Structure 1
Amino acid sequence: MAPFALTFTHESGEAAEVINASPCDVNEQFKQLQSDHVLVRFLAFPVNPQDLLAVAGKYPVRPRYTLPDGSHIAGNDGVGRVERIGREVTTLKPGDIVLPKRHGLGTWREFAVLPASELLIIPPQIQPVAASLLKMGFAPAYLLLEDIRTLRPGDWIVVNAGLGVIPQMIAQFAKLRGCHTVATIRDRDGLEDARAILRANGVDIIVTEEALSAHGPGADATLATIVAEKRITLAVDCVFGKSGDVIAHLLAPGGTFVNYGSLGGPDGIVQLSQELLFWKQIKFCNFRLSQQLSTRSDGEQERLFAWFVALIASGQLVPPVVDVVYWNPDDKKALSDSARTALNRATSRQTGMRKQVFSLVHVLC
């Protein structure tokens, strides 16, 4: 049976309604492997907001690969293993574990023939599911702390959507830097379990958005103290709207507010009040991972990812818990059904929904 890819023929904001498992025969490409290309077997891939935007036709980077019937191969991120290389490829060898360098490569598939120049090598000492989070999970968390503002040990950071992959990793990287983290989360059943997860990640203060909206910094005694002492220097927002507005007001004068997402929807507004702009002189900016990575060479990016792998291996970083979706290579309908279920979960606004990650193999070999 030919390997499968997850594809779509027309754009839709409801990805689960248009994504299908389609046979993706790479035999001809394999036989005629271009000299500067490699055959990659994907091992795992996450479902990220950028993927859903691409399916909806609202992301600037379009899928670059299609099947003969014209359907687009979805997916921007993932981890793969090099199976075969073209005769002129010198940067990769069979067995190398790789990440995509750019978006649009169609990572939601079992096999792909790709230019060697579009791939970055990572060390093999990492499980595939964790490896699939390195680029779009670990890297933005680290760079949000490294590139946006100079942070010193003892500084405080506030994040919203605290149980997201990136906020969890921000808390862990902050702890490595000697910084402290405030995390806001929505109220939910199992709130204490959520608090336990965040404390394990090194979060110092956990407060619900509902309590913060109702009581301000007074929702937590320690939070009230550090706000009064003007110690929160960086607010990292992935929601925008009211949630972003609330954490912006926790910043000390001269603080920085950085936005990297819009989980609250495209119409969210953060109010630029006189207090924030004139009295506190808060700096507002956005973050784009592609822009920050473009300032680093391929070698620098590979060394950064290798450092992440080493930190995981030493126990200094712990990959976030995700929902793993196991790829069924033998049943097209079962695979399509599991993909739709995962995409429905990924687009759900239900509180506490975890990131969906497809696993095509369980252990690197």
Structure 2
Amino acid sequence: MSFVITQGPDKAVRYETSEIPEPQNDEVLVKFLASPVNPLDLLVIKGAYPVRPKFNQSGNPILGYEGVGEVIKCASNVTRFQPGDLVIPSTFGVGTWRSYAALNASLLLKIDRPNDIVFAALLRMAIAPAYFLVEEIRTLKPGECIIQNAGTSTVAQYVTQFAVSRGVSVISVIRDRSPDETQRVKSALLAAGAEKVFTESELGTQATELRKSKKIVLALDSVYGASGSMLLSALSDGGTFIHLGFLGGSAGKLELGPQDLFGRRLTLRGFRGSDHMAARSVEEQTNLLNYWIAKLNQNELQLPALGLNLVELSSGPASGTAALDTVQKAQESSMSQRKQIFLLK
């Protein structure tokens, strides 16, 4: 028996069961092992993301845009894969919130096996964008500094790891929370490599002073609105501002003064990690994915310091309740510091 998480006509998230499919020509049967609940998944549920799910169960779109699985069986005409191979989707929308899927082989990339399978479930939407932000936006030099909001996000935590490894310091900004929780989060992020950690309230009073004392050449905005505007204020002259998300909602605005573009010569750009990955051939993508896996296996990359919330799912009513509760929790706390990960049994 297989299970699948879908979205019904009423837009409600559903947990359904079905028979395990048989792979047809050009297909492989994949047993998904781990699938995260990402901010992008929440946009899909809201109908606010342009790439829609590619597959349906009983007419309902199958959710989940990232994950890792193991090949169980291949159609007779498939030679690229064999049972036991570890794979991730090569594109968005394949529906990873399910235990089994018969997928066209072209929708999958074979990867090496990491020491922790959860790491592979984070490759495309956390580790890849973090790497591209550090390596491909501008040439960063040792001694320079990155400032980023949504500092507890998985992407931000990997930005810190990649930046610190090349001598670039990181200032992470987190949302305001209770004093005890603020201290706990700050301690974890500092221990993981951040040079400084500010709450949004603290940054509001120190952004201009930071600009005078640090060479902040890159600002990464995942929140938008007032939080993003504070990052703009902290950027050094000639710095680059990258917008990559709307975790704080899209109703706000960035405050851009008349001197920011001309006087301070700031550059503002949008960012999509999928564009950077798509610019590479399949072989180049696979090599890059395996490079990050090797870094983990050699203890040069770590799982997020703030931890992950692992939710085990199998066929049955209890798992259905756990799955729906997990999605609801993610929707209610989209800026939580602990990513939700489905472990599919």
> Same fold by TM-score, threshold 0.5 exceeded?
yes
| TM-superposed deviation, 1:290 | 1.6
Q: 2:200 aligns with which of 194, 206, 209?
A: 209
Is 1:166 matched with 2:155?
yes
Check whether the contact 1:123–1:309 (CA below 8 A) recurs between aligned residues: yes
Check whether the contact 2:71–2:84 (CA below 8 A) recurs between aligned residues: yes
Check whether the contact 1:230–1:251 (CA below 8 A) recurs between aligned residues: no
4+ aligned runs moved over 3 Å, structure 1 = 214-218, 349-353
CA distance in 1, matches of 2:174, 2:15: 35
Q: 2:285 aligns with which of 301, 305, 312?
A: 301
Compare the two structures and name the one with the higher strand fraction: 2
- Mapping of residues 240-279 of structure 1, within 5 Å: 240-279=224-263
Corresponding residue of 1:75: 64
Is 1:66 matched with 2:56?
yes
The AA in structure 2 aligned to 1:70 is: G
Is 1:200 matched with 2:208?
no
The AA in structure 1 aligned to 2:293 is: V
CA distance in 2, matches of 1:114, 1:351: 32
Q: 1:322 aligns with which of 308, 312, 331?
A: 308
TM-score, L = length of structure 1:
0.90
Q: Deviations over 1:116-145 (max 9, x none)?
A: 111111111332222111111100000111
CA distance in 1, matches of 2:334, 2:202: 19
Corresponding residue of 2:325: 341
Check whether the contact 1:40–1:82 (CA below 8 A) recurs between aligned residues: yes
CA distance in 1, matches of 2:158, 2:130: 6
Q: 2:265 aligns with which of 253, 277, 281?
A: 281
| TM-superposed deviation, 1:342 | 0.8
| TM-superposed deviation, 1:188 | 1.9
Q: 2:169 aligns with which of 180, 185, 190?
A: 180
| TM-superposed deviation, 1:94 | 0.9
Q: 1:145 aligns with which of 124, 130, 134?
A: 134
Say which is worse superposed, 173-182 or 55-64, in terms of deviation: 55-64
Check whether the contact 2:153–2:335 (CA below 8 A) recurs between aligned residues: no
CA distance in 1, matches of 2:280, 2:234: 32
CA distance in 2, matches of 1:351, 1:136: 16
Q: Deviations over 1:139-187 (max 9, x none)?
A: 0000111121111122110010111100000000001111100111122
Corresponding residue of 2:340: 356
CA distance in 1, matches of 2:84, 2:10: 35
Where in structure 1 are there 5+ consecutive unaligned residues? 13-17, 219-223
| TM-superposed deviation, 1:315 | 1.4
Corresponding residue of 1:191: 182
Check whether the contact 2:152–2:337 (CA below 8 A) recurs between aligned residues: no
CA distance in 1, matches of 2:162, 2:232: 21
Number of residue pairs matched by the alignment: 341
The AA in structure 1 aligned to 2:187 is: A
Task: Classify the secondary structure of the residue corresponding to 2:161.
Answer: helix
Q: 1:26 aligns with which of 6, 10, 20?
A: 20
Alpha-carbon RMSD? 1.6
Check whether the contact 2:52–2:93 (CA below 8 A) recurs between aligned residues: yes
| TM-superposed deviation, 1:216 | 3.2
Check whether the contact 1:19–1:339 (CA below 8 A) recurs between aligned residues: no
How many percent identity over aligned positions? Answer: 38
Check whether the contact 1:346–1:353 (CA below 8 A) recurs between aligned residues: no
Cα pair distance change 1:110/1:231, threshold 3 Å = same
Q: Deviations over 1:26-73 (max 9, x none)?
A: 34xx1xx32311000000100111112112222111111112x21111
Corresponding residue of 1:155: 144
Q: Deviations over 1:277-298 (max 9, x none)?
A: 1111110001112211111111
The AA in structure 1 aligned to 2:256 is: L
CA distance in 2, matches of 1:125, 1:181: 27
Is 1:50 matched with 2:49?
no
Check whether the contact 2:171–2:197 (CA below 8 A) recurs between aligned residues: yes
Cα pair distance change 1:351/1:94, threshold 3 Å = closer
| TM-superposed deviation, 1:92 | 1.3
Cα pair distance change 1:350/1:285, threshold 3 Å = closer
Check whether the contact 2:247–2:334 (CA below 8 A) recurs between aligned residues: no
Check whether the contact 2:67–2:89 (CA below 8 A) recurs between aligned residues: yes
The AA in structure 2 aligned to 1:197 is: A
CA distance in 1, matches of 2:265, 2:214: 13
CA distance in 2, matches of 1:242, 1:156: 21
TM-score, L = length of structure 2:
0.95
